[in-house]
Amino acid sequence: MDRRSFLRGAAGSSLLLPFAARLGRAEAQPPKRLVFLFVPNGKHMQTWTPAQEGRDVELAGTLAPLQGLRERVLVLSGLAIDGGRAHGDGPGDHARAGGSFLTCTHPKKTAGSDLQVGVSVDQVAAEQLGGQTRLPSLELGIERGRQAGSCDSGYACAYSSNISWRGPATPNAKETDPAAAFTRVFGDSVNPERAKQRLAARRSVLDLARAEAKELRRALGGGDRAKLDEYLESIRELEFKLSRPPVQVDAKPPQGKLDRPERLRAMLELTALALASDQTRVVTLMLANAGSNARYGFLDVPEGHHNLSHHKGDAHKHAQIRKIDRYHVGELAWFLQRLGELEQPDGSSLLEHTAVIYGSGLGDGNRHNHDHLPILLAGGPVAGRHGHLRFERETPLANLYVSALRWAGCRAHRFGDSTGALALG
């Protein structure tokens, strides 16, 4: 086994048996999970969109890696995020594409003084589903945030490097190191006696921290209080997590320095394991930050992704973009396959109980359009209605989120700019 690429233990898909047995007693029906995968810079839409509509489409072109999973995949064409558009704010489509992707609201244009966007759909779900698991939600990414300058036309970088927003001004920072993410989900291996002592110490320390923060908050005004609220909320979430011991999995965090494809694989595997062992039910993963200009050297693409996305119809650039698109879809296929292998206590596969939403906040990177987005739904909700659906133009992507939330058992009257739930055929 490659020591770096896989978190998977020697026992393969049976590694979760002890947990499965426990869950089997507690809950007859496996819980529902939601996964949101973001890719930047749009897609080459000509090779993304299936030619036909309906059940029996062939997944070709960019989507070819999914052909074997076609009964679990539904391609949704014609969806839009109106909040991503300028609305008088001028350029900055990449920042807005990132900021609006899961919030379906219009991010406020600011260099950082007053971030404002909606609460994201994963956090709406986490609020309702998260009380059951150690981590209400898990935020992962492949690229760290940018460290200097602005990211896009006067927008603070927060919009480009986060898709999960717990509050209108509070992004949920993402973990980009697979080994650290693994430790966060599954704990570090300390002996039970030491773990017990540590828990007691942590509780007392966090109790004091909370009391101190509450008192300090009272002495502060306005915006400063909001910062202490973030602190207090984080304490609450951490205390809840600590109150539940992590499940033991027969898997190890990846070792050593990982290259980009290894990192993505490790994150996808971690996502699968975290869901399978019910450490969380909501995961967001940014395959790259919004507007990313990463160079996919391992695909023989020497130019940056963002540069390429401004293809101006150039066939050579199209070909390079297709390589990146296809790579990302290939990884999605691998991930779905993996969810399909992991067994739930009732014998069904994890994929049947997971909704995976994959897509970009831009359609064509050259046009910077926020409609006709490349969006794909996979897993549980697709059962019996796979294929390709074309929606009336301007149908809000938020409608899909409402459908997904309801499928997962969340109360969702409306979300963002939704006008209802999406009719999924």
Partner 1 sequence: MARALIPFLQEHCARCHSGEDPEGGVAFPRLAEAADVDAHRELWLSVLERARQGDMPPEEEPQPSAEARAAFVAGLRQALRVRAGDPGRVTIRRLNRAEYNASVQDLLGVGSSPADVFPRDESGHGFDTVGDALSLSPLLLEKYLTAAETLVEEALFDPKPFLQRVPGDQLEGGGEARRRLRVFASTGRAGFRPRLRVAGRYRVLVEAWADQAGPDPARIDVIVDGRRVASLDTAGEGRKDAREYSTEVMLTKGAHQVLVGFPNDYYRPNDPDPGQRDRNLIVVSLSLAGPVEPPRFSPLMQRVRELANQHRDDPVAATRLALAPIMTRAFRRPLREGELERYAALADAAREEGAGFYDALKRALTGVLISPHFLFRPELDPDPTSDEVRALDDFELAARLSYFLWCSLPDDGALRRAAEETLGDDVAGEARRLLDDPRADRFVAAFAGQWLGLRRLEDVDPDPQTYPSFDEELRVAMRAESELVLTALLRENRSVLELLEGRFTYVNGRLAEHYGIPGVEGERFRRVALPPERRGVLTHASVLTITSNPSRTSPVQRGKWILEQLLDDPPPPPPPGAGDLPEGEASGVSRLEAHQAPDCRACHSKLDPLGIALEGFDGVGALRTRDGRDAIQATGTLPDGTRLEGAGGLSAALVGDPERFVRAFAKQLMIFALGRGPQPADEQALDALVVRTAPDYRFRDLIVELVQLPAFTHRRGPGGQ
User: Cα dist. 310→116, 314, 315, 344, 359 in Å?
Assistant: 28, 9, 12, 44, 18
d(CA 248, CA 225): 39
Buried b / exposed e along 83-121 (16+ C-beta atoms within 10 A): bbbeeebeebbbbbbbbbbbbbbbbbbbeeeebebbbbb
Nearer to partner 1, 87 or 393 (CB): 87
Closest to 348 measured CA to CA, from 35, 32, 65: 32
**Choice from 184, 281, 338, 388 touching partner 1 (CB under 8 A):** 184
- State in angstroms the smallest separation of the CB of 272 from partner 1: 20
- State in angstroms the smallest separation of the CB of 15 from partner 1: 24
- State in angstroms the smallest separation of the CB of 259 from partner 1: 11
- State in angstroms the smallest separation of the CB of 204 from partner 1: 6
**Choice from 7, 157, 185, 287 touching partner 1 (CB under 8 A):** 157
Question: What is the DSSP-derived secondary structure letter of residue 306?
Answer: H
SS (H, E, C) 277-297: CCCCCEEEEECCCCCCCCECH
Is 154 a binder of partner 1 (CB under 8 A)? yes
- State in angstroms the smallest separation of the CB of 220 from partner 1: 6
Q: Which residues in 216-235 contact partner 1 (CB under 8 A)?
A: 216, 219-224, 227-228, 230-231, 233-235
Binding mask 314-343 for partner 1 (x = CB under 8 A): x-xx--------------------------
d(CA 336, CA 79): 23
Residue pair 122/164 in contact (Cβ under 8 Å)? The answer is yes
Is 304 a binder of partner 1 (CB under 8 A)? yes
Nearer to partner 1, 200 or 423 (CB): 200
**Choice from 142, 156, 290, 342 touching partner 1 (CB under 8 A):** 156
H/E element, 102: none
- State in angstroms the smallest separation of the CB of 96 from partner 1: 11
Q: Which residues in 357-376 contact partner 1 (CB under 8 A)?
A: 366-368
Q: Which residues in 73-132 contact partner 1 (CB under 8 A)?
A: 86, 88-93, 108-115
d(CA 396, CA 418): 6
Nearer to partner 1, 24 or 298 (CB): 298
**What number of chain residues touch partner 1 (CB under 8 A)?**
88
Q: Which residues in 249-288 contact partner 1 (CB under 8 A)?
A: none
Q: What are phi and psi of 97, to 5 degrees?
A: -65, -40
